[in-house]
Structure 1
Amino acid sequence: MASTTAFIDVPESPDRIWQLIGGFGSLPDWLPYIPESELSEGGRVRRLTNQDGGVIVERLQAFDHTARSYSYAIEQAPFPVTGYLSTLSVHPVPGQTAAARVEWSGSFTPVGVSDADAEELFHGIYTDGLAALLKTAQGWRG
């Protein structure tokens, strides 16, 4: 099994960032390469469409509003992995009152690619996504 984690510190309160990213269907609000998210099964399944028209189906595995965290599994995607489980979480930045640390992590079993290649793929997705989140948050300040 392979895994990777990325994080970014955002100059906004953890609660404000969680309001933006904490909804399971909220990816289009902050992730430009996912322009569409359709929820089903009472909000437990999201069908994402990427900017190229590709479809990714993910199932919510755990949600903790108080801890500002959710985990999800991929059910259908064009990625060379199986057993994908990811967590997106928001925490306070130690020593800073108005900053949030957003962490995106995942574990998965590569199929037809090396652990390193799969880790590089998802680390890039997480890093790009978190950079987009920072850009969205910076837009709040004008």
Structure 2
Amino acid sequence: MAEASTSIDIPLSADQVWQLIGGFGSLPDWLPYIPKSELSEGGRVRHLANPNGETIVERLIAFDDAARSYTYAILKAPFPVKDYLSTLKVSETGTKASRVDWSGHFTPTTVSEKEASKLFQGIYEDGLKALAQGLEKSGK
């Protein structure tokens, strides 16, 4: 099994950051790689489109609003992995400071564990950088 994880510190309260990223359908609000998200099955499944028009389908496995965390699995995607499970979490680190952690583990199918980990490490790092830049630009 391969894994990847990253985190970023944000100079905003955890509640402010969670308001932006805590909705299961909110990826297009902060992740440039995902321009479209549609929810189904009562908000438990999201159908995403990437910039190439490829479909990614993910299922919400666990959601904890109080802990500002959710875990999801990929059901369908153009990625060379299976058994993908990921968690996105926002933690309070100070009065106006928080940390966002994004981690996942998965089983590579057509690439090495190192290659699969590198792929998702890049997605997580680029995603959290885009989140920080977007929050900075919006002046939140």
- Regarding TM over 0.5, the answer is yes
Which residue in the other structure is 2:137 paired with?
Answer: 139
Which residue in the other structure is 1:63 paired with?
Answer: 63
TM-score (norm 1): 0.96
Q: SS where residue 60 of structure 1 aligns?
A: strand
Per-residue deviation, 1:140:
2.4
CA distance in 1, matches of 2:23, 2:31: 13
Q: SS where residue 58 of structure 2 aligns?
A: strand
Confirm or deny that 1:100 pairs with 2:98. yes
Query: Residue type matched to 1:114 in 2?
Result: S
Which residue in the other structure is 1:116 paired with?
Answer: 114
Query: Residue type matched to 2:50 in 1?
Result: N
Q: SS where residue 88 of structure 1 aligns?
A: strand
Per-residue deviation, 1:97:
1.7
CA distance in 1, matches of 2:134, 2:12: 11
Q: SS where residue 59 of structure 1 aligns?
A: strand
TM-score (norm 2): 0.98
CA distance in 1, matches of 2:73, 2:61: 7
Q: SS where residue 104 of structure 1 aligns?
A: strand
Following TM superposition, where does structure 1 have runs of at least 4 consecutive aligned residues deviating by more than 3 angstroms? none
Per-residue deviation, 1:56:
0.2
Aligned length: 140
Q: SS where residue 51 of structure 1 aligns?
A: coil
Superposition map of 1:39-58 within 5 A: 39-58=39-58
Confirm or deny that 1:31 pairs with 2:20. no
CA RMSD of aligned residues (A): 0.9
Query: Residue type matched to 1:126 in 2?
Result: Y
CA distance in 2, matches of 1:82, 1:32: 24
Q: SS where residue 66 of structure 1 aligns?
A: coil
Query: Residue type matched to 1:135 in 2?
Result: Q
CA distance in 1, matches of 2:139, 2:57: 33
Q: Structure 2: which 5+ residue stretches go unaligned?
A: none
Q: Structure 1: which 5+ residue stretches go unaligned?
A: none
Confirm or deny that 1:75 pairs with 2:75. yes
